[in-house]
Amino acid sequence: MKQRLITAVVALIIFVPLVWLGGALFDILAILLGLIALSEVLIMRKKLLISPEAVISMLAALAVLIPQSWLDFLPSDTTQFTVFYFFVLLLLTYTVITKNRFSFDDAGMLILGIIYSSVGFHYLMQARNVGISTVFYLLLIVWSTDSGAYLVGRKLGKNKLAPHISPNKTWEGSIGGVIIAMVIAGGFTLIYPQNMGFFSMLLITLILSIVGQMGDLVESALKRFYGVKDSGKILPGHGGILDRFDSLLFVLPVAHFIGLI
């Protein structure tokens, strides 16, 4: 418990000021988090981080992560998707070079891993560009849902939510997490209004709280499939980057789809 607390305090001391400052330093932080998250996927897949497929995957993730403005040195009609797909083609070509020792299935898994670990962190940068209150609103949804689900689940939880994926989660905790998120994050929007009306934001909070819990379950399913307890060890007592940002990786793209980012 002491180790978890120390790690959390140190992480917040680094993360919160960079969120507050924004700009290039925050962008670099988000890019590093995305690359570390992908490295955790690669390690779960038992891929060496210095292998050709890992290097190509990292470059593909970088193409997704970086702001579009960082590609201004390329022809004007070059987009992030164009660069990303170039590296996808390299991964597919590598299946031929290795005579299928690196297979189409391997390539497909890595491509999905790149998208999963990178798109959310790209939208984290986009959220900061919208405004610091938007970032903290989204973080509050994730944090309050997670804490609320844990506290309510411990007190009232009886019915398992997804016993084969995450045995400790309950329906009561899940519903409690949503309600607490709506109170805390919804209240936040009264003080710091977003780009939609209050009742619209309450509905969005409800949706994003549920989406965040699905992100948590998806990462649990990933770990269970590969037989690991934590996605990584970079955060002592907390696991890896995917363990800490799993909900946010779902919340941020959906927030963009809704029009909040």
pLDDT tens-digit map of 160-200: 998 889 888 999 999 999 999 999 998 999 999 988 888 99
Write down the H helix ranges in the chain: 2-21, 23-44, 52-65, 80-97, 104-130, 132-156, 171-191, 198-226, 241-258
pLDDT tens-digit map of 218-248: 999 999 999 988 888 877 666 789 999 999 9
CA 41 from centre of chain: 12
Q: What predicted TM-score, i.e. pTM, was given to this entire model? A: 0.91
CA-only gyration radius of the chain, Å: 19
DSSP 3-state of 167: strand
Contacts of residue 137, defined as CB under 8 A and 6 or more positions apart, other chains included, come to 185, 188, 189, 192, 194
